[in-house]
Amino acid sequence: MASLSRVRSRGAKKAYSGWRIQFMDGAGQRLPISLGNVPRKAAETWKVRVEQLVACLVTGVPWDTDLSCWVRDLPDASHEKLAKVGLVEPRKADASATATVLTLTTAFVERSSAKPATIRGFKQTLDCLVQFFGADTPLRQITAEDADRWRVWVSQDKEGSGQRRKRRTTGDNRLSSATVAKRVSVAKQVFRCAVRWGWLERSPLDGLRPGSQANPARSRYVPLEVIDDVIEACPSVDWRLVVGLARRAGLRCPSEMADLRWGDVNWDKGALTVLARKTEHHGGDHAMRVVPICPELRELLAEAFEMADPGAALVVPLVRSKTLNLRTELERIITRAGHEKWPRLFQNLRASCETDWVEQYPAHVVAKWMGHSAKIAAQHYLMAREHHFDHVVGGGGPVPVRTASGERASLPPRARQGLQQEEPRAGGAKSVRANCSSPSVQIAAQQAAAGGGTERHKKKQPAATIGVTAGSSEFTPVSETDKVAGTGFEPATSRL
């Protein structure tokens, strides 16, 4: 049983300051609950409820519905009085009432399972959210109008936020439209987490449209002639491999090159097994892919293998250095080679490789070699070449193609019909384009033509800039084995 008594005020003989309930807990200890100056009827109701709570606590009987509703509807201050004497469990803090912008951005980073490089990219958006809205601003005070103002501020800001206060590539020092779209997309993801965690009923950024994240203005096709000059200017075999793997195999730098081991090089099949940590979280075949090794890249790999230390496992240990800035050093090498640096150094090398491959092989095959979908390739990698445009202006005809040897070639109609045709090469030798029905003749002709080897690219006048129109380089013919007869890829079928 519980007792109810009045409490006198200190220093006053007849004045009362409120009510107090005393009860015996399960351990036989008398505990008080001060109710304050409340009406007698309310104090008596509390006495009855305390007796019910004590009885349930001692006997282990669960609360009935009426008692549960009464405890649930208590204000936080009244509920805390019961919690202090052990009659109820303390209430968890309501994060939605106290969550601020800084609380949200910090929790987003702590609870994210993304890769460290992705987290670093997220922090650029998180910094600008904190700078605009304020670190201590409650999330519930942010409205859709505030989100619209933030979107405008991001697109017009010229100073940067957080650790990103540096000179930008645009003329007026604003963010590019692709970067703005990326920040809006990340910000919407952050506030969606707040909704999922129960901190917000609805995200104020739901109505924002990010826009396209593609940025063709920073895409540059890097010709193979330029890559030959850059490779010759590299100070070590490791650097020659970095440039060669990025341009001739489309590897990401540094993530994929850092994990490349000599055991991943299949010399017999000419295949390179690449571990793709960036896309491994998608599952399936996204964690690993097989890339073909072209003859030029094979030479670089063979050179590096001969110079590697006995027992060495990594193909390019250089990219694992924590003290070397790969981008800055590559810019120095490009300048030393007599060329001007291009934007997105490694990204455009990878994109140029895919652009070359797509001109010779099906897009879905190339996308599998590169480790992404054909849709991603079209949005962010493939670039228009000028020689395609000039080909249409010139009246069409044989479709110009290119090979790694640096020569021009086309597929004449007669070759498509499987007829033999001779054409002189630069060195005076002749290549025989044989009917596909005679593979032995064609292989023998290719071996005879390739016996003398190809002359290394000779450096000409330094290009004014690689940033000139994409496709300004010379293009050259595909190998004979890449061509098919007039029947096409599918076998001939009889008419019904």
What domains lie within the chain, and their CATH numbers? 3-84 (no CATH), 97-213 (1.10.150), 224-380 (1.10.443.10), 386-482 (no CATH)
Kind and range of the H or E element at 78? helix 76-84
**Per-residue model confidence (pLDDT) at position 297:** 93
Q: How many residues does the chain have?
A: 496
Going from the C-alpha of 362 to that of each of 3, 139, 249, 485, the distances in angstroms are 87, 49, 16, 16
Q: Which tens digits make up the pLDDT trace of 304-341?
A: 999 998 888 999 999 988 888 998 999 999 999 999 99
pLDDT score of 291 more than 50: yes
* pLDDT band at 183; cut points 50, 70, 90: very high
pLDDT score of 411 more than 50: no
Q: Which of 141-145, 259-263, 480-484 has the lowest mean pLDDT?
A: 480-484
Q: Which tens digits make up the pLDDT trace of 332-364?
A: 999 999 999 998 899 899 999 999 998 889 988
> Hey, how many other C-beta atoms are within 10 angstroms of the C-beta on 304?
20
pLDDT score of 380 more than 90: no
Q: Which of 154-168, 230-244, 251-265 has the lowest mean pLDDT?
A: 154-168
* pLDDT band at 372; cut points 50, 70, 90: confident
- CB 354 within 8 Å of CB 377: yes
Maximum C-alpha span of the chain: 124
**Per-residue model confidence (pLDDT) at position 398:** 60
Q: Which of 215-224, 390-399, 447-456 has the lowest mean pLDDT?
A: 447-456
* pLDDT band at 228; cut points 50, 70, 90: very high
pLDDT score of 401 more than 90: no
> What average pLDDT score do residues 428-434 get?
36
**Per-residue model confidence (pLDDT) at position 473:** 38
pLDDT score of 373 more than 80: no
- The residue ranges of DSSP E strands in 227-270, in sequence order, are 265-266
> What average pLDDT score do residues 419-425 get?
38
Q: Which tens digits make up the pLDDT trace of 30-46?
A: 899 988 888 889 999 99
**Per-residue model confidence (pLDDT) at position 304:** 92
Q: Which tens digits make up the pLDDT trace of 101-134?
A: 999 999 999 998 877 878 888 888 999 999 999 9
**Per-residue model confidence (pLDDT) at position 103:** 92
Q: What is the mean pLDDT of the chain?
A: 77
pLDDT score of 94 more than 60: yes
Q: Which residue has 């409650």 as its token pair?
A: 138
Q: Which tens digits make up the pLDDT trace of 74-85?
A: 988 899 999 998
Helix, strand, or coil (residue 443): helix
What is the secondary structure of 363-427 as a DSSP string?
HHHHHHHHTS-HHHHHHHT----HHHHHHHHTT--SPEEE-TT--EEE--HHHHTT--EEEE-TT
By DSSP bridging, strand 271-275 and strand 288-292 are antiparallel
Q: Of 21-25, 172-176, 412-416, 482-486, give the range with the top mean pLDDT.
A: 21-25
